[in-house]
Amino acid sequence: MPHRRPRSRDYQVLLKHRQYFGVEPQKLQAAAARIVARVAGLPPERARVSARQLQHDFGVDTTEGQPLLEELVAEGILALQPELPGVYAVTPQLAEIAAAKVIDPLPRERARALVAEACTLAGHVNGMWARIPLEIDALAVYGGYMSRDANLAELSLGIVVRTRPATRRAHWRMASKPDGARAIRIAFRGLDPFVHVRLVTELAALPRPFAVVYKGN
């Protein structure tokens, strides 16, 4: 059986003007698509690619291809098969790359503006959504925003919710907690397509590192 490393990141979105493993995103996606098409319909244990095939798919020679292979294996996109030297198992992550969207990135300046809008929205939810039995205890950013990258693939917002006190609830037509959570998600996702939302009940449930940008009263 091939040895599969744990995934270190997702590749559902590839950013223009950024190289992945030293390869332009469009070229990476096209090469991945060729490999995936070739193994389509095969059982997972037979979905394999040779070093020579990979070099052809990426349009590189042996000198360039070996470091590329090593990076793809290290990232878990290909898996070593010790019993078959020079042959690698194709993982679902390679299919993810083949189907990825190649998009313009989110500039950090725009991301900062979205964070400010999210904080304003959190205050509005707490102050005005009296028919929602939940309110926002804290709002945090995590993921790519915590890097120093000038351009981001997404803006990940962690929303910590708590039960709204009875003194701040409407006295009629209260929504259920699931409906309230759904409404909060929809509102924050509506800020921008780049916004990814995760609702939790405590900050410790968010991926680290994160930074709290809003705290409810």
Please indicate, yes or no, whether residues 129 and 168 belong to a single structural domain of this protein: yes
Please indicate, yes or no, whether residues 119 and 96 belong to a single structural domain of this protein: no
Domain count across the chain: 2
Domain range enclosing 90: 13-103
Please indicate, yes or no, whether residues 193 and 112 belong to a single structural domain of this protein: yes
Secondary structure of residue 43 in the 3-state scheme: coil
pLDDT at residue 45, as a whole number: 86
Run of H or E including 149: none
Please indicate, yes or no, whether residues 52 and 129 belong to a single structural domain of this protein: no
Query: How far is Cα 129 from Cα 179, in angstroms, rounded to an integer?
Result: 12
Please indicate, yes or no, whether residues 78 and 93 belong to a single structural domain of this protein: yes
Domain boundary among 103, 118, 149: 103
Please indicate, yes or no, whether residues 116 and 185 belong to a single structural domain of this protein: yes
Residue 8 lies in a domain: no
| Tens of pLDDT, residue by residue, the chain (217 residues) | 444 444 446 788 888 888 899 999 999 999 999 999 999 999 988 999 999 999 999 999 988 889 999 999 999 999 998 888 889 999 999 999 999 989 899 999 999 999 999 999 999 999 999 999 999 999 999 999 999 999 998 999 999 999 999 888 887 888 899 999 999 999 999 999 899 999 999 999 999 999 999 999 8
Domain boundary among 73, 103, 133: 103
Domain boundary among 103, 125, 152: 103
Please indicate, yes or no, whether residues 134 and 172 belong to a single structural domain of this protein: yes
Q: Which one, of 161, 160, 188, lies nearest residue 177 by Cα?
A: 161
Please indicate, yes or no, whether residues 130 and 177 belong to a single structural domain of this protein: yes
What CATH number is given to the structural domain containing 39? 1.10.10.10
Please indicate, yes or no, whether residues 114 and 59 belong to a single structural domain of this protein: no
Please indicate, yes or no, whether residues 87 and 135 belong to a single structural domain of this protein: no
Q: Can you say whether residue 86 is alpha, beta or left, with left for phi > 0 and alpha for psi between -120 and 50 degrees?
A: left
Cβ count near 80 (within 10 Å): 16
Secondary structure of residue 49 in the 3-state scheme: strand
